Structure 1
Amino acid sequence: MRFKLYTIFLIMLCTATTSFAQRKIDILLIEKNYDKALLEIDKELAANPSSQLFYKKGVVYKNLQNYQQALEVFLTGLQYDTDNMAMLEETAECFSILGNNQDAIAFYEKALQVEPNNLVLAGKLGRVHINLEEYKTAYNVFSEIYEKDSTNVYWNKQLAYCSFRVFQREKARDLYEKVLEANPRDHGTYINLIHCYNWKKEANAIMATIDSGLVHFPADKELLLERAMFFYKTKRYGPAMLQFEKYLEQEKQPAFEILMNYGISTYFAEQEEKALDIFGDLKRMNPNDPLVMYYQSLCNRKLKNYEDAIELMTFAIEATVPDYVSEMYHHLGQMYGQQRKFKESIEALKKAYELNPGKTEVLFEIATTYEEYNSNKTLAMNYYRIYLTESGAGAKNAIYALERIDRLKEDLFFDE
C-alpha cells in the first residue's frame, strides 16, 4: 500500500514539475525571451521529448527567421505525432518560405487530409500553386474555397487573379469589382481590373476605374500610365501625349518603350518639333533603333527637311532587317548552287549582299556562279572587279579573283 502511494506521489510530482516547466517556457515565449526559452525547451526535451515541445522549439526558430532550423525541428516533432495539424502547417509554411514549393504542397495536402474543411490551409495551398505558376490548379483550389465562402476578400482576390490567368476574363472582372467594392484602397486591384476590361468594348469602365483609383491615390504613376496607355491604344494621341507628360512628372526613370509611345503620340498630335526632341533623346539611348529613326524621318518630312528625312529613312530600313536574314539568303544561294539551279542561286546571293553589304565575299560567290551559269563571261569578270573594289585589302580570294579576271580578258579577246 505504501509503495502504491509513493508511486502515485512521484507521478503527481513529475506532472507538477512538467507543468511548471511548460508554464515557464510559455512565459518566456510570451516575453519573446527566445534564448532562455530554447535552453528550457532543450532541457525538457532531454528528459521528456514530446511533439508539443518540438512544436514550441520550431516556433522559436521560425520567429527568429531561422526557417531551415525550424523546419528540421518540425520534421523531428512529426515523428512523435504524424497528424499534428499545427506542425504539418508550420512545416509546409517553412518549406514555402525556403522556396521548396513542391515539398510545401505535399505537407499542405497532408494537413488537408486531416482537416479537409480548413479553408485557411486550402488558401495557403492555392498560394503555393500560384508561386509555381500552376494557375489552373490554383484556380480549382480557390474555386472550391469560393463555393464554401464567397465573402472573404483575400480569397476572392486570389481567385480573380487565377481566373485572369486561365482566360476567364469576365469572371476575373466580376471578382475584382467585388474586391474593390469591399476594399477601395486596394491599389493592385485597380491595375488588375483595368487589364480585365476590353480596351475597345469597355472604355467607359476603364476610365471610371482609373478615375476612381486616382481619387484614392492622387498622382499615382501607375494609374497615370494606364490612362496614357488607354488613350494611346485607342489612338487618341493628343490626350495620350498630355497624360504621358503627367506620368513623366512622377516617374524619373521611365522605360524606353514608354518614352517611345510618348514620342509617337506627340508626332501624331502634330507636335513634330517636340517629337524630334523626344526621339533625339531616344536615339542617344539606343542609336540603332530603326523605329526611332523611322519617326525622326517622318518628323523631318513634316518639317520639310527632306534630305534628313531621306537619310534617316534609309538608315531605318537598313537597321530593320536583322543580320540573320542576309545569312539565310546566303545559305539559300549556296544550296541552289549545289543543285545547279544557278539563276535562283544568283538571285538569293544578290539578296544576301543587298541586305548586308558588309558580306563582300558573297560578291565572289556571285562571280564564280556566273562563270558556271552564263556563257557571257563579262558578268563574272565585272563581279570579280566589284568584289576586289568593295573588299579592298580584306579580300580573302583576291589572288584567285585577279587570275580569273586576266583569264576572262584573254577568253573575251580570242572570242572577238
Structure 2
Amino acid sequence: MKKLFLVFLLCCLVKVTYSQDVTVDKEKLFDLYQTQRYADAGQYLKTVYGENVSDVKALNQMGYCFLMAGNNVEAEKFYSKAYTLQPLSLPILFSLGSINTRRGNTEKARLYYGEIVKIDSNNFNVYKLLANLYPLPTDSLKLLYLLKANKINPTEGDVASDLAGIYSLKQAYEKAYEVLDIASKADSDNLILQKEKLPVANQLKKYNEVIAAGEKLLKDGADAGVVKDVAKAYYYTKKYQKAIDLFKMLEKMVMQNEATLYYTALSYRALKNYPQAAIYTKKTIDEAISPNTPNYYSLLGLVYEENKQFSLANTAYKKGLQFDATPGLYYRLAILYDTRLKQSSNALKYYNLYLKSKPNATDDKEEIKFAKDRVAQLNLAD
C-alpha cells in the first residue's frame, strides 16, 4: 500500500514536471520517500521548482513533504499558496487546519475547519477535529460538534467517549449510557468504552450489568477504576464482603480515596463488624483532610496577626493544631502570646511544646535558639 501511494505521488509529479517544464529525478525522489527523508525531499523539490512555483500539485507536494518532516513553517507557506489557488480544496484546508493546530494557532485552525463545514456539512472528521479545539467540556460548541460527529458516525469510539463524558458532567446519565452502549456494541473489543460505561451504569442502578461486565474486565488486569465500580455495584447489591475484598485491593494498589474508604466502612457496618467499621471511618476522615491543612491555618493565623486581629490569629493557629501538631504552629502561638498578647505563662507553654515537637535542627536553627533563650528568660522572670 505504501509503495502504491509513493507511485501515485510520483505520477502526480510527472504531470507537474510537464506543466512546469522542469525535470524531476523520479528515482531520487522515490528513494527519499522510501527512506522517509521528507525534509530532504522537500528541499530537493524546492531546488527543482523554485520558490515562486504556481502549480497547485507541486505546492501540495512540497507542503506535504515539509509537513511529514515536522517543518510546519515551510509546510504552511506552500499550503497557503495552494489555498490561494484552490480555496475550496478539502485536502488543503485539512492540512492548514492540522498545521495550525500543531502550532497552537487554534483560531486559525477553527477558521480552516469551518471552511470545510461550509463545503461538506456531513464530514465526520472535521466535526471531530473542531470538537478537539475546544478543551473545556463545558463549552457549548464542543458539545455541538460532538453531537454532529456522533450523529454521522455513532459507532466511533473517541467521539462517543467524549460526548458521554459531557453528558455525565451534566448528569444526563441515560444519554451517556445510550451513546456508550451503541459504540461499545459496535466495537466489542474496545475496553476503553467498556470501562467508561461502568460508572454510568452504576449511576443508573444497572448493578448486575456492572458486575458482569466488570468481572470480565478484571480478568484482563486489576484496573483501579474497574475495581472501584464493581466494588460499588457489589455494595449496592448487598454483597458486602465482595465489596470489601475489592476495596481492599485498591488499598494494596495505593489507589484508595475518601469515597472508597467510606464505602468500606459502610460495608463493615452492614456486616456488624463494628471495630473494622470504626477503623475505616477514621481512615475516611484522615483521607478527607489535606496534609497541608495545618499550613493553611498557619498562614491564616499569620494574616490575622499581621492585621492585628490577635484573637482570630489565636483561633486559627489552634484550629490548625486540631489537624496536626506541627512545630510551626506551636512556634507561631508562642510568638503570639509572647510578643502580641503579653501572656508569659502561655508563651512559655508553647515554647516548650515547640522544642518538644522536634523541629528541624538545620532548617529551624535560629527559631530553636530563640525559643531556648526565651524559655530561659521567662523561667528567670517567674
Q: Do residues 245 (structure 1) and 215 (structure 2) align?
A: yes
What is the Cα deviation at residue 143 of structure 1?
A: 3.5
Partner in structure 1 of residue 188 of structure 2: 218
What is the Cα deviation at residue 338 of structure 1?
A: 4.0
SS where residue 391 of structure 1 aligns?
coil
| Match runs of 1:65-144 below 5 Å | 65-79=36-50, 82-132=53-103, 134=105, 136-144=107-115
User: What percentage of residue pairs aligned between the two structures are identical?
Assistant: 20
Q: Do residues 381 (structure 1) and 348 (structure 2) align?
A: yes
Change (3 A) 1:360 1:199: closer
Find the aligned partners of 1:247 and 1:299 in 2 and give their Cα distance. 23
* Preserved CA contact (<8 Å) 1:318 1:355: no
What one-letter code is carried by the residue in structure 2 that aligns with 1:73? Y
Find the aligned partners of 1:393 and 1:194 in 2 and give their Cα distance. 50
* Preserved CA contact (<8 Å) 2:268 2:276: yes
Q: Do residues 368 (structure 1) and 338 (structure 2) align?
A: no
Change (3 A) 1:204 1:148: same
Moved over 6 A (4+): 198-202, 392-395
SS where residue 99 of structure 1 aligns?
coil
TM norm structure 1? 0.70
What one-letter code is carried by the residue in structure 1 that aligns with 2:213? Q
Change (3 A) 1:264 1:161: farther
Which of 172, 175, 199 matches 1:229?
199
Find the aligned partners of 2:246 and 2:299 in 1 and give their Cα distance. 40
* Preserved CA contact (<8 Å) 2:218 2:226: no
TM norm structure 2? 0.75
Which of 277, 281, 284 matches 2:252?
284
- CA deviations 1:283-342 (Å, max 9, x no partner) are 122277444434333333333333333333334433433344422322333343344433
RMSD: 4.0
For structure 2, the residue ranges without an aligned partner over 5 or more in a row are 1-5, 11-19, 135-139
Change (3 A) 1:365 1:89: same
Which shows bigger deviation, 107-116 or 125-134? 125-134
Q: Do residues 322 (structure 1) and 293 (structure 2) align?
A: no
Change (3 A) 1:301 1:99: farther
What is the Cα deviation at residue 110 of structure 1?
A: 1.0
Which of 173, 176, 183 matches 2:150?
176
Change (3 A) 1:347 1:245: same
Partner in structure 1 of residue 124 of structure 2: 156
Indicate the structure whose relative CO is greater, using CA pairs within 8 Å and at least 6 residues apart.
2
Which of 276, 280, 284 matches 1:308?
276
SS where residue 47 of structure 2 aligns?
helix
Find the aligned partners of 2:240 and 2:339 in 1 and give their Cα distance. 54
What one-letter code is carried by the residue in structure 1 that aligns with 2:347? A
What is the Cα deviation at residue 201 of structure 1?
A: 8.3
The alignment covers a number of residue pairs equal to: 361
What one-letter code is carried by the residue in structure 1 that aligns with 2:221? K
What is the Cα deviation at residue 233 of structure 1?
A: 4.2
Find the aligned partners of 1:392 and 1:146 in 2 and give their Cα distance. 65
